[in-house]
Each structure stands twice: as structure tokens, then as C-alpha cells.
Amino acid sequence: MGKDLKGKELGTGLRQKSNGVYSARYVDRFGNRKEIYDRSLAELKRKLNTALYDDANGNNVEDNSITLSQWFKSWIEIHKYKVIRNNTKMYYTQLYTKHIEPFLGKKKIKDITQLNIKALLKELDQKGYHYETKNKVRIMLLDMFDKAMVDNYVLKNPCKGIRLARDEKKDMRVFSREEQAEFFECSKGTFYDNLFVVAVSTGLRQGEICALTWDDIDFEKKEISVTKTLLYQKLEGDTQKEFHLNPPKTRTSKRTVPISKQCETALKKQYIQRNNVMARKSAKPLEGFENLLFTTKYGTPICNQILLDAIKRIIEEINLCRDELEQFEIFSPHCFRHTFATRCFEAGIQPKTVQTYLGHATLQMTMDLYTSVLGNHRQEEMQKLENVLNDVFECVDNNIEEKFKQEQARKEKVVPIRRLG
């Protein structure tokens, strides 16, 4: 029992300090010792009753002082430990440091409201960031606050219920058949031509192609095994950007992809080219990457910029023979993947099969691509439907004509009944 300065009993946990301030002590549901202060005994008791009520009903949090930046460190190091890969961890850290920390980092997580989250997303929108970036920020914060609720640092998730409007979809760069023929005619004999042929013949991602080794190719089964991807990033522990061989992007990205005759020829040509490159004195393969099938002229791994430069040189060559108003548009290596999918759909291959080729995590991803592709071929598809319907109606018309003739013949055979006089 505590007492006031006059020696009067105040009750368990209550006391009055020498400066006249009253205090109340209690232990919350997390086992933390808490203390409340007030100069008024009546007000102190009101505060204590409120705190005990909130504690009994789970309306309080573990730590009132933790900031969002402090929680991010716990979230990434504990909740994401062995859940995400190192390159993903690095990406999350960059995303938080660049987009979230300047706006909300110093704010206590218990005080962050949905309005704060929406204001952050609005600021990113005004800075010109696309839907993909804003949505990744939203999803990361959603998970951070979900885990904070589990650990009793917040009572509710301020990100719940927030929806973002998608940007207007830009048309994917896909080769027309004429463009594909022209590009590959011009790329013949160039150093990366074999890589381009394999890319447009398999739909593999750039990192998946650049990570291939000869052991991944099975000519008897006529398939490529996709088991890894090549990254050129600055990961945790790196002082600069480095090459890394990592598992594929998703679980479904680990797959086998059939190879066509053209692809098989390109792979065999590349095998010869690679051996020639490695036999040169100028070859400087990096340790751990000596067995890569596709390399630079120096036997080193290939990064995105090298392929972009190679593509640009080919396009410049094509455009020398074109009118200024009909210039061949620049494109990224990902265009080969979209073009492969387009040719698959045009050939009538089912979306579910194309999904397995591309390694998409969901069929919806393939269907989005499928819808986009078909959007450019609606008239062609409608003509196919019209042809089918014409066949159906022609069949129906022929049947009616045949039945009509039969009915006429039947009537002619009917003998009229005479009336008896």
C-alpha cells in the first residue's frame, strides 16, 4: 500500500512523491512495468482505470515508442529471415530507404494512420512513380504492419483497404512477323545472334538465358532445364555491383522448356563460339562463372546494358535502309519473351501450356499477356469465327434444302381420297 505525504493510505501501487506528484504502478499483459503520473489523485485513478481496462481488453501495445524505421530493421532481420533471398532483402531495403523512410521513418508506428499511408502514396504519384513502384510500397507496408500486429506493436493495420488505381497499360513491344524476320536477317553473324535466337525461340528471361550452362541442354529430350538466373546487382556484403547466380525468380520459374530446330542449331553454334572465345588469350572468365554458355567476347558474364548496346547496333543498321518516318523502334531484351508468347498464341497453343513455357506463377499473368496479344488480332480472330459460323449456317441451310425437297416428293406421292357419291 502506498501513502501520500500526510501518511494516508492510497491503495496498491499508488503513492505520492516528495514533489507532490501522484504515481501509479502496474504490470501490463506483456509483463512490462508501467508507471502513470498526475498532480491530481482523482485524475491519476481515472488514467489508471483506463490503462487497466485497455490492458484487460487488448487495447494497448507492447512498446509505444518504437518508430517505423526501428520496426523495419526488426521486420527485415527477423520476420523475413530465410523467407526472402539476399537480393530481395537488398531490394526491400532500397525501397524503404528511398521511398518510405524520408516520409514516415521517424514516426511512431502506433501513430501512423491510413491517411499517412495515402499521403505517402500520393507524394510518390506526384513525383511520377508508376503503379508498380507505388504498389510495392503498399504491399511492403501492409506486411510490415501485419507482423507488427502479431508482435503487439500496433492494434490495427492502417494499410488495410487501401486500393491503387492502375496506370493506363502501355502496349507491349512485340515483333510483327515482318519485323522479326528483318531483325534476325540483320543480326546474322553478329556476336549475340545465337542468344537472340534462343531468347525468341524459348521465351526465357534474360537472366535465365545468361545463366545457362551446357549441362542444362538435353538434345535427346529436346529441352532446356531452367535451374538458375544470373543477376548483376549490389547485394548485402557487396561493395559494388557484382554478378550472382541465384535460384529462378519463383518456384514455377524452375522448369523445362522444349527447344525447336532453330533453337537447337543456335545452341550448337553457341557452343562452338564459346569454346573459341575461351581459347583466346584475351579471355578473362570470372571465378564461379567459367561454365556459362553465353558470355561476352572476353568470356565474362553478360549484363543487360551489353545486350541493349548489341540490339541498338543492329537497329541502327536496319534503319540505314529505312525512311525516317518508318524507323525500327528500339526495344529491350524482354521483347523476345513477349514475341515468343505471341507466336505461341498465334499458333493456337493453349494459355496453360504457354504458362509452363514462360514460368509464370499464375495463369492470370499469362492470360493478361494473352488478352493483350489478342487485342491486336481481334479482326483476324473475328474472321476465324465468321468462317466457322458460315460453315455451320451453310450446313443448316443444306439440311433445310434437303428436307424441303423430301417434303415436296412426299406430297407428290400422296393419293387423294375420293368421296363416295
Compute φ and ψ for 325, nearest 5 degrees.
-85, -5
The cell 523495419 sits on which residue? 72
Residues 142, 79 contacting (CB under 8 angstroms): no
Question: What's the first-to-final CA gap in the chain, in angstroms?
Answer: 133
Domain boundaries, the chain: 2-56, 68-150, 177-333
Residues 213, 292 contacting (CB under 8 angstroms): yes
pLDDT at 61: 62
pLDDT at 197: 96
Residues 37, 29 contacting (CB under 8 angstroms): no
Pairing assessment for the beta strands 14-16 and 9-11 based on DSSP bridges: unpaired
The residue type of 254 is: K
Class of domain 68-150: mainly alpha
pLDDT at 383: 62
Average pLDDT by stretches of 10, the chain with 421 residues:
77 84 82 84 84 71 82 92 82 92 93 94 90 91 92 89 79 86 94 96 96 96 95 82 87 92 95 94 92 96 95 93 83 93 90 92 82 58 62 63 72 59 50
pLDDT at 39: 86
β-pair partners for 243: 232
Class of domain 177-333: mainly alpha
pLDDT, one tens digit per residue, over 67-108 is 999 999 999 999 988 888 787 888 899 999 999 999 999 999
The cell 514475341 sits on which residue? 339
C-beta contacts of 92-96 below 8 A and 24+ residues apart: 92/140, 95/136, 95/137, 95/140, 96/72, 96/140
pLDDT, one tens digit per residue, over 175-209 is 989 999 999 999 999 999 999 999 999 999 999 99
Nine cell digits for residue 244:
550472382
Nine cell digits for residue 315:
537497329
Cα radius of gyration (the chain): 35
Instruction: Please state which CATH number belongs to domain 2-56.
Output: 3.30.160.60
pLDDT at 381: 56
pLDDT at 276: 95
> What is the number of alpha carbons within 13 Å of residue 14 lying toward its C-beta?
22
β-pair partners for 16: 22
